[in-house]
Structure 1
Amino acid sequence: MSIYTFTLPDIGEGIAEAEIVAWHVKVGDMVEEDDQIADVMTDKATVEMEAPVSGKIIAVAGEAGDIIPIGSMLVEIEVEGAADLEALEATSADDIAPETAETPPATAMTPNQVIDNKKKPSSNTVDSNLKKESEDLVAQAAETDVMAAPLSSQKILATPAVRKRAADLGIDLAQVKSLGEHVRHSDLDAYLTYASGQGYRPAGASQKRDDETIKVIGMRRKIAQNMAESKRNIPHFSYVDEIDMTDLEDMRQDLNANRGERPKLTMLPLMIVAICKSLPKFPMLNATFDDQAGQVTRHGAVHLGLATQTDQGLMVPVIRNAQDMNIWQLAAEIGRLAEAARNGSASKDELTGSTLTLTSLGPLGGIATTPVINRPEVAIIGPNKIVERPVFAENGEILARKLMNLSISCDHRVVDGYDAASYVQALKHLLETPVLLFAD
């Protein structure tokens, strides 16, 4: 027997430490080479750690949420035979890269077996009537397609915590119905409710839920820290104005009708063009503020952060040099970055270095928002939902117009209220006169 110490490798981002997001093994578990053992997070990228050797886990470094330095022990593995540990320890960390996690290789179990795992009765006391009733429930599930047959080749979208919980319960995630794209804890709860004989109720159905204490770790902790720092250090103020988007929406529909093979336009690319065209006269908004040095950097290029909601939380991928892109290039880049953020493949460079952020809730946009500034930036722009409302024309005629409230939050240490209001008026002029977006 020999002991192999697997240290947390340098993943190539120049970082000094990483956070343990989830464990997939515990002391005493047997692992095979390349088995997933843990998820760690560096900045905003989650990396899956795999076992470099086969053996028995005899020690792990801390719990989920702990931060450990690069080069320190992650796990110790007891290896049988005279393994060439020196060769193994020389293995490069270049082979370790983030990837989309598959469904855990847990053996699929029927609801009957899930109950047995949770509360294992003696074989001498099994009630034959209960057993028959459980078998009938499984047959009924198969007939009504409540739980689909496992699809081994299908990637099931779920967080590491959900995958681990399903693996611990012996549940194949392919059998769990979900109202959204991702399987969540509530979907597992609904599955187990059915397994207990109370009837399957999908997530969102009225049902009693037990209290749940969740440790704030990983991406959620990063978001919490950043938001707290922003509100603690930046004196925010917000300004909201109403913009008539009717003509711009008509132009967008015309452009889409003649786009050919180019990507379909949402309102965001057009809005980004307007933002970039109006910024040169308001350089104080495309800026970052260094608290320690007490200086503001007014940036010439617009590196636009695009707030994107993911299952892990809010991420802000960056459109580099947005001022140099046309609407079709912006549409393609928005789609690429949003997908990279959602599937966890976005690089560190794609998630840092923004000079101004645009945050949009799309159809959920509401009446007005007061977005929190993405520190160390000094401003964030938040378009809200477009709503058709009656408007009085100058001749007294009532017209139906598509109106949108646009919000901006600014750092009052750097941006005066007059500057923010003047900028929104300039932006409003471009959006309400969309032909100017394509004028030199």
Structure 2
Amino acid sequence: MAGSIHVIKVPDVGEGTAEVELVAWHVRPGDAVVEDQGLADVMTDKAIVEIPSPVAGRVLALGGEVGQTLAVGAELIRIERAGDAEAPVAAPARAAPPPSPAAKLAATPPPYAGPARPAADRPIASPAVRRRAWELGVDLGGVVASGTAGRIVHADLDAHVAAHGTRPPDRAPGTGSAERNDQQAVPVIGLRRRIALQMQESKRRIPHFSYVEEVDVTEVEALRAALNTKWSAERGHLTLLPLLMRAMVLAVREFPQVNALFDDEAGVVTRHGAVHIGIATQTRHGLVVPVVRHAEARDLWAMAAELARLAEAARAGRATRAELSGSTITISSLGALGGIVSTPVINRPEVAIVAVNRIVERPVLRGGAVVSRRMMNLSSSFDHRVVDGMDAARFVQAMRATIEAPALLFVE
């Protein structure tokens, strides 16, 4: 007999969110679903949230198209619950989403490393797991699932890679110098749309000015190497970034006006005692800014451990909304790709951002002699409405003084 109709609405994901963007469907009308199976992904201001099914049954109707904005409380999907005469389906049939361009972009299948499975046996996995499998060239059809209702989790993927290895996605053979006239329309949805809107608003509303300073990192790099030699086995490996964050924390004490948020509609600048440092991080899925909270209360190794944890979560697409919000000042680092100089865009409503450029070993004149030194530029941008040029320069100079005399990193 027929079951009752269950309407799933867009949930309230907290922090005042009034609407979300629908970025992927994992089911289509007619599909059978089990309890806790992922139905759709929605994008908030900060993170992608997967919406699971609270019931088993069959999909009747979808409440929107990929790329559409839905209000909290709006109908997301209708499911007919399994009737008394129907047994719940153990493994749902996962058909491909409707073939709109946006849906194709949001639900691109991985390049399978083995034979394709029948549609009824398509594996159940979250978007983050599917992305990792695509990047590793792993066929999810060959991965043993341990999650609820046959769901493949990250640990299952790790175990499969450890046992069978990976292979890169297939590449088409070269076509020489033949002319190409193909085009590809790429919908700007999900995280990419959020990034675009945030950058647009930041540049539109904030009068940026930039300041670049050259820093000699020879001594701080020598200190880092010595600390790693002595403590890495016990406390973990240090990169340069935690030392730069420590220099930022000390500089903020002298110039609290740069560790602030500006509500330009209310005309209020809020200076923060806590230093919550956002780390602008480029992932395969787009730019995200995980936040190392209370950097002022962490030592170098605590900051390094938190950086490593957040970076792994960001790369895997598992960073939570709380981990991606609440920063008061931001550092942007592209590592070896950092270039000589950059003009970073402020992470609104913050008022300052510091970008770390590439380290270059080159000859420098010191005391009348030419010596080899490791040099790096700090490129910074400030909100000129609330930060004066002199204060901005002095703030960066304070960071430079600490970095070039790294014993100061340990002076309170």
Q: What is the TM-score normalised by the length of structure 1?
A: 0.72
Shift of 1:53: 3.5
1:102-132 CA distance string (max 9 Å, x none) = x989998749x99xxxxxxxxxxxxxxxxxx
Give the secondary-structure state (helix, strand or coil) at the position aligned to 1:415.
coil
Match of 1:48 in 2: 50
Rounded Cα–Cα distance in structure 2 between residues aligned with 1:358 and 1:22: 31
* Kept after mapping to 2: 8 A contact 1:148/1:175: no
Give the secondary-structure state (helix, strand or coil) at the position aligned to 2:60.
strand
Of residues 354, 360, 374, the one that matches 2:327 is 354
Match of 1:328 in 2: 301
Moved more, 404-413 or 63-72: 63-72
Rounded Cα–Cα distance in structure 1 between residues aligned with 2:11 and 2:358: 45
Give the secondary-structure state (helix, strand or coil) at the position aligned to 1:314.
strand
Q: Quick check: 1:152 aligned with 2:143?
A: yes
Shift of 1:82: 5.1
Give the secondary-structure state (helix, strand or coil) at the position aligned to 2:359.
strand
Shift of 1:176: 8.6
Moved more, 31-40 or 280-289: 31-40
Match of 1:380 in 2: 353
Of residues 238, 243, 252, the one that matches 2:210 is 238
Moved more, 29-38 or 18-27: 29-38
* Kept after mapping to 2: 8 A contact 1:33/1:52: yes
Match of 1:408 in 2: 380
Match of 2:398 in 1: 426
Rounded Cα–Cα distance in structure 2 between residues aligned with 1:224 and 1:312: 13
Rounded Cα–Cα distance in structure 1 between residues aligned with 2:166 and 2:304: 35
Q: How does 1:297-308 map to 2 (within 5 A)?
A: 297-308=270-281
Match of 1:121 in 2: none
Identity %: 51
Of residues 281, 284, 292, the one that matches 2:254 is 281
Rounded Cα–Cα distance in structure 1 between residues aligned with 2:324 and 2:21: 18
1:308-336 CA distance string (max 9 Å, x none) = 12222111111122111111111111111
1:64-96 CA distance string (max 9 Å, x none) = 111212222211223453599xxxxxxxxxxxx
Please give the root-mean-square deviation of Cα atoms over the aligned residues, in Å.
3.4
Give the secondary-structure state (helix, strand or coil) at the position aligned to 1:258.
helix
Higher gyration radius (CA): 1
Rounded Cα–Cα distance in structure 2 between residues aligned with 1:245 and 1:209: 48
Moved more, 362-371 or 8-17: 8-17
Shift of 1:306: 1.0
* Kept after mapping to 1: 8 A contact 2:361/2:375: yes
Shift of 1:150: 6.1
**Structure 2: stretches of 5+ with no match in the other structure:** 87-107, 120-136, 147-163
**Structure 1: stretches of 5+ with no match in the other structure:** 85-102, 115-145, 156-173, 179-186, 194-198
Shift of 1:14: 5.0
Give the secondary-structure state (helix, strand or coil) at the position aligned to 1:336.
helix
Match of 2:122 in 1: none
Q: Quick check: 1:341 aligned with 2:314?
A: yes
1:50 maps to a residue whose letter is P
Paired residue total: 352
Rounded Cα–Cα distance in structure 1 between residues aligned with 2:17 and 2:282: 25
2:25 maps to a residue whose letter is W
Match of 2:105 in 1: none
Judged with a 3 Å threshold, the aligned counterparts in structure 2 of structure 1 residues 296 and 228 are, in CA distance, closer, same or farther, namely same
Shift of 1:50: 2.9
Match of 1:394 in 2: 367
Rounded Cα–Cα distance in structure 2 between residues aligned with 1:359 and 1:349: 19
Q: What is the TM-score normalised by the length of structure 2?
A: 0.77
Rounded Cα–Cα distance in structure 1 between residues aligned with 2:179 and 2:224: 44
Rounded Cα–Cα distance in structure 2 between residues aligned with 1:61 and 1:148: 30
